[in-house]
Copies of this chain bind each other. A is one copy, B any other.
Amino acid sequence: MFELALQNLLSPMVLFFVLGLAAALARSDLTVPEAVAKLLALYLLMAIGFKGGAEVAHHGVDGTLVATLAAGILLSFATPVLAYAILRGTTRLDPVNAAAVAAHYGSISAVTLVAVTGVLTQLGIAWDGYMVAVAAAMETPAIVAALLIARGRSGGDEPGESRGALLREVAFNGSIVILVGAFLIGAVTGARGAGLLKPFLVDAFPGVLCLFLLDMGLVAGRGLAQGRRYLSPAVTGFAIVMPLIGAVLAGGLAWAIGLSKGSTAVLITLAASASYIAVPAAMRLALPQANPAVALTLSLGVTFPFNLLVGIPLYIALAGRITA
């Protein structure tokens, strides 16, 4: 496992992330234009969705798909409850902010999904293509759970914001649409499509991921510099412990379902990841009283680096133990 951790830490992907982090903390003027960051994210989601779909077209779907989808949805619903309880018990966050943070940790981070598949591919560990669909299914339930908690605790309902409209918006948010859409296209076009798109979507993937993680490092570093004041020891501890709790829960479910090593690693990583595309935007609409910087600093400034540097090799090792 230490070898795995070292190999991970010395991979170009992780090192480019660290470069970005260091550049931001050194206040370098290195920047990635917003349009470029969006192109890189679009590409990565398209690539991973398409590869997942093509894999499904090739290997078919075994009986575990439905169970895994259910497990993912369950995790996404349950984790916010747990996260909320921990936050209220150990930190000074008020109910609304605690609910907002809980929603982030219940949902998933598409970028962390991209990173774990990058590492798995490098290690030659196969994962089931339908995990892409599982990831998509895990995005929304956490938002519903967090809104129920927030309404229950704060007694307030969101003025002027219909729950239905909000969930529809989250379900059709850009990153989900491209991920699921590319998955379906991969499944429909199969080997023929995969051959055609391989140079663009497969061969270039690690390089684009490096560039993207450089950007994520820059954004995380700026976020950390800005959000330092929110990082009390208790809150920071939450951002590291919560992924581990999610990992253990997901590991147990993966073991019960009998997932393959690669898919177990993906499910664990999804559960351990915290959203920073879909959920932050949804929270600005549904819980505007929550301070967005708190959840973003935790998710992007602490949990994402933790997962990238330490978590992913840990989760892969854990998946190895579970499926041994």
Contacts and interface: CB of A to CB of B under 8 A. Distances in A.
Interface of A: 10-12, 15-16, 19, 22-23, 26-36, 38-39, 42-43, 46, 50, 122, 169, 172-174, 177-178, 181-182, 184-185, 188-189, 193, 196-197, 199-201, 203-204, 206-208, 210-211, 214
Nearest to A173: B29
Given A185-B12, A189-B10, A29 B172 contact: yes
Given A23-B172, A189-B11, A189-B15, A33 B30 contact: no
Given A29-B173, A35-B33, A206 B200 contact: yes
A15 B186 CA distance: 10
B34 A185 contact: no
Contact of A23 (B15, B27, B34, B181): B181
A20 B285 CA distance: 25
A38 B218 CA distance: 15
Contact of A12 (B23, B197, B208): B197
Number of copies of chain A assembled together: 3
A168 to B, nearest CB: 9
B15 A188 contact: yes
A315 to B, nearest CB: 21
A16 B185 contact: yes
Contacts of A28: 172-174, 177
Given A35-B36, A197-B210, A200-B207, A185 B19 contact: yes
A19 B184 CA distance: 10
Contact of A200 (B30, B31, B181, B204): B204
B12 A196 contact: yes
